[in-house]
Amino acid sequence: MELGVSQYLYREYNELEEGDLTKLRASIVCEPALVKFAESLDFSKYVLLGKGEEMTGGRDRPALLADVFEAFIGALYLDQGYEKVIFFLNKYVYPQITTGAFSHTMDYKSQLQETVQQHKNKLVEYAIIDEKGPAHDREFFSVVTINGKTAGKGIGRTKKEAEQRAAKQALDALPN
């Protein structure tokens, strides 16, 4: 999927700078976007789950929906080939890019890294400091430091989400 999206963006948005294209691609192939695609196609109703997972709301779990969408793209590629994947993306994914559904999406970790890199000798590091809850309903606690000083904290259902939220908090706290 990433290859197809990259080619599409390069072809259709060649006026954008490389960094902006990278951010846009990242926002399209990230978990929240994959969840939106899966939901728009009602993929959750085709997933077979065990009783326990069904009872704990697994059918609507974002990580599961994103994985299902990625698995579908992979299966389509293996069974039908790259051209069919591109046909599918043209029909269900690219129109959402064209309508601006991703213009607001921001990769806060990349934005923080770029902002901090403007000042030499600044080191950005992320750490997961805690995890709580059962495996199917885990909550991660992240901290981002800049040169060893805590700059932001975040909580999320995935490590990436927690880190993104920590990065956003750090960005919000930086002076303009």
pLDDT digit string (tens) for 57-110?
888 899 999 999 999 999 999 999 999 999 999 999 988 876 656 655 556 888
pLDDT digits (tens, 9 = 90+) for 157-176: 888 889 988 998 998 898 86
- CATH number for the domain whose boundaries are 2-98: 1.10.1520.10
CA–CA distance from 166 to each of 79, 118, 148 (Å)?
Answer: 40, 20, 15
- Structure confidence by residue, pLDDT tens digits, 110-165: 878 888 888 777 899 999 999 999 888 889 999 999 999 999 999 988 888 899 88
> 108-173 adopts what CATH topology?
Double Stranded RNA Binding Domain (3.30.160)
Query: Quick one: DSSP state of residue 176?
Result: -
* Percentage of the chain modeled with pLDDT above 70: 93
pLDDT at site 98: 67
Domain definitions of the chain by residue range: 2-98, 108-173
pLDDT digits (tens, 9 = 90+) for 4-25: 999 998 888 776 778 778 888 8
Helices (H), 99-158: 108-117
Give the C-alpha separation, 139 to 88, whole Å: 34
Intrachain domains 2-98 and 108-173 with the same fold: no
